[in-house]
Amino acid sequence: MPEQRLTLPDRITELETPDPLKPDPDADMFAHRDLRSDAFWQHIPRFANTSESEFLDSKFQNKNSAKTAEQLERLVGELTGDAFMKDVKEGLRQAPMLLRLSPYLLSLIDWENPYDDPIRRQFIPVASKRLPDHPMLQLDSLHEQKDSPTSSLVHRYPDKVLFLALDVCPVYCRFCTRSYAIGGDTESVDKVSYKPKSSNWDEAFAYLLSRREVEDVVVSGGDAYFLPPNRLREIGEILLAIPHIRRIRFATKGPAVMPMRILTDDEWTGTLLDLAEQGRQFDKEVCLHTHFNHPAEITDITRRAMSRLFQGGLKVRNQSVLIRGVNDDADTMNLLTKRLSWVNLQPYYVYQHDMVKGVEDLRTTVGQTLEIERNVRGFTAGFNTPTFVNDVPGGGGKRDVHSFDYYDETTGISVYRSPSVDEDRVHLYFDPIPLLPDEGQARWADRREHSRMIDETLAAAGCEALELAN
Ligand SMILES: *Cc1c(COP(=O)(O)O)cnc(C)c1O
Ligand code: SF4
């Protein structure tokens, strides 16, 4: 913690405490403040002698990231054993995403019990847990390619756009929505390329200049963490120079993967803080949006990194994905929410897991999401309570999970409308089949039932007259 400079007057500290109304809090009430500050990386044999200053160097983190199963095996093979590594190799062969794991994340995984570990589950596929995809699943389920006026932009909502600056990330998430494009081809997916060259950026900037209604730009990808400081500055300053753009968010997984970069890469962090300062002078907001999913990803290194940004006047918000076996219970989600708030990361969204290829084992039902939301709301400040959203298939955009027109828990079909995007269309989300009641599972097992279930649900929602977007 930064040193406390203010002291309380004696008249307060010496006053007799008024009688308590509430029972004394139990230890659970404080679990979110208990951040790891040990040399946790030294459990990995290769890093047994790595000092803190070496570990905090982002060059060390990049150089020692595991990008292939063989590199992973060299780092943790002796902790996990052959059977697990074999499962990983087969999992990676079938997966739509590549592997990339920083020493930071790698060291936070419990390698004695990797199957159940919430960090392992997010980033390292294992073949033995793979479930068949839902029959209604499409690869670009959000239809981002359809809403793209130039190669680096998605313009779906009236006044805000997504600027896809590059196609690499500091980690590859199994559940990535953009698995159709991010991170290079795998055996199962040939990626679309954003061609993140500045000639493409110029087209996107020219488009934004011409669209006077656009006030809000999300710079994502890929990931802003991999923009070198001069490119970060270029994007920031051009966007700030467009008069009608009022809010710029840099979206990055970086703080969850390599928080030390904020502490030790002064050029990058300095550029970001400088852009925020320049923005303030024009009454414009420049902020950071990041992506933590589990409380164990937040350590004392994260706290120190967030402290630097907070003291530099930069707002940081967090978007999580609700993931089975990672954060799909109320206690974990509560701990995550409170820990994020403790380190000045404002919980903004929790996403219903998108319908993405090859990760059916990670999705939850809409019903489970509603139950978790019910348990989280009210535990802490409203402005630190995330909104649970479903980015509905077929390009409807983010909808409050509760706002479905109809939800059938037996077939797992939910119906959403999205008037801000398209008044005439309707969007369907499908719960993972293995989590449905037996009756629902039996109906999905029979192909002839599929369109019947969909028609029934649309009728129950009163949406038969609308066009189906999926
Ligand atoms: C998420 C998203 C945005 C930003 O939406 P917010 O709800 O303001 O966070 C903008 N454009 C696209 C295409 C998006 O997916
Ligand atoms: S960091 Fe974001 S864009 Fe990159 S792989 Fe993960 S979810 Fe996808």
Burial of 234 (0-12, 13-18, 19+ CB in 10 A): middle
pLDDT, residue 141, reads: 63
Q: Pocket of ligand 2, candidates 173, 294, 320, 349: which has the most ligand atoms within 8 Å of its Cβ, to mutate?
A: 173
Beta-carbon neighbour count of residue 247 at 10 Å? Answer: 16
- pLDDT band at 187; cut points 50, 70, 90: low
Q: Beta 397-400 vs 316-321: how paired, if at all?
A: unpaired
For residue 140, the one-letter residue type is D
Q: Residues 189-199: pLDDT tens digits?
A: 555 554 445 56
Mean local confidence (pLDDT), 440-456: 96
Closest-lying ligand 1 atom to the alpha carbon of residue 156: 13
**Residue 183 to residue 172: CA distance in whole angstroms:** 7
| pLDDT tens track for 248-278 | 999 999 999 999 999 999 999 999 999 999 9
Collect all residues with Cβ–Cβ distance below 8 Å to 468 and sequence separation of at least 6: 394, 425, 426, 428, 454, 458
**What backbone torsions phi and psi does residue 415 show, to the nearest 5 degrees?**
-120, 125
Predicted confidence at residue 197, as pLDDT, reads 53
Q: What is the pLDDT of residue 131?
A: 93
| Edge-to-edge strand ranges of the sheet holding 285-290 | 153-154, 160-166, 216-221, 247-251, 285-290, 316-321, 346-351, 387-392, 397-400
First CA to last CA distance, the chain: 49
Predicted confidence (pLDDT) at residue 284 exceeds the cutoff of 90: yes
Is residue 408 within 8 A of residue 370, CB to CB? The reply is no
Identity of the amino acid at 226: F
Residues with C-beta less than 6 Å from any ligand 1 atom = 154, 156-157, 160-162, 218, 398
pLDDT score at 186: 62
CA atoms within a 13 Å half-sphere pointing along the CA-CB vector of 410: 9
If one counts every other C-beta atom within 10 angstroms of the C-beta of residue 83, the result is 9
- Residue having the nearest C-alpha atom to atom 2 of ligand 1: 162
Name the residue of 144, 162, 421 to mutate for ligand 1: max ligand atoms within 8 A of Cβ: 162
Query: Which is nearest to 96 in space by CA: 63, 141, 149?
Result: 141
> What is the position in ligand 1's atom list of the atom closest to the CA of 157?
11
φ and ψ of 348, to 5 deg:
-110, -60
The domains located in the chain, with CATH, are 40-129 (no CATH), 145-402 (3.20.20.70), 404-470 (no CATH)
**Burial of 46 per CB tally in 10 Å (0-12, 13-18, 19+):** middle
Judge contact between 247 and 213, C-beta under 8 A.
Answer: no
Collapsing DSSP to helix, strand or coil, 218 comes out as strand
pLDDT digits (tens, 9 = 90+) for 109-149: 999 999 999 999 999 999 999 999 999 987 666 677 778 88
pLDDT of residue 179: 62
Q: What is the pLDDT at residue 190?
A: 56
Q: Does pLDDT of 188 surpass 90?
A: no
Task: Kindly state if the Cβ of 172 falls inside 6 Å of ligand 2.
Answer: yes
Would you give the distance in Å from CA 421 to the centre of its chain?
23
Mutate to test the pocket of ligand 1, among 152, 218, 291, 389 (most ligand atoms within 8 A of CB): 218
pLDDT score recorded for residue 194: 45
Give residues with Cβ within 8 angstroms of 390, minimum separation 6.
351, 352, 366, 369, 398, 399, 400, 401, 414, 416, 429
Binding site membership of 178 for ligand 2 (Cβ less than 6 Å): yes
**Residue 42 clears pLDDT 50, i.e. is over it:** yes
Helix axes 449-461, 438-445, angle to 10 degrees: 120
Of the listed ranges 170-184, 374-388, 429-443, the one predicted with least confidence: 170-184
- pLDDT at position 184 is 62
Tell me the CA–centroid distance for residue 452 and ligand 1, in Å. Answer: 33
Judge if the beta carbon of residue 176 lies within 6 A of ligand 2: yes
- Say if CB 224 and CB 251 are below 8 A apart: yes
Locus of tokens 């530099």: 312
Query: What was the pLDDT predicted at 146?
Result: 78
Identify the pLDDT of residue 440.
98
Do 123 and 101 contact (CB within 8 A), yes or no?
Answer: yes
- Ligand 1 atom at minimal distance to the Cα of residue 160: 10
pLDDT of residue 362: 95
> Which of the ligands is closest to the CA of residue 142?
1
Q: Considering the chain, what is the average pLDDT of its residues?
A: 92
pLDDT of residue 195: 44
pLDDT confidence tier of residue 151, bands split at 50, 70 and 90: confident
> How many A from CA of 468 to the centre of ligand 2?
28
d(C-alpha 217, C-alpha 322), whole Å: 24
Backbone angles phi, psi at 214, to 5 degrees: -80, 120
Ligand 2 geometric centre to CA of 254 (Å): 10
The residues that bridge with 286 in the sheet, in sequence order, are 248
> Per-residue DSSP letters for 22-83?
SPPPPGGGGGGG----S-GGGGSGGGTT--HHHHT-HHHHHHT-B-SHHHHHHHHHHHH-HH
Summarised one tens digit per residue, pLDDT across range 304-313 is 999 999 999 9
Cβ atoms 142, 395 nearer than 8 A: yes
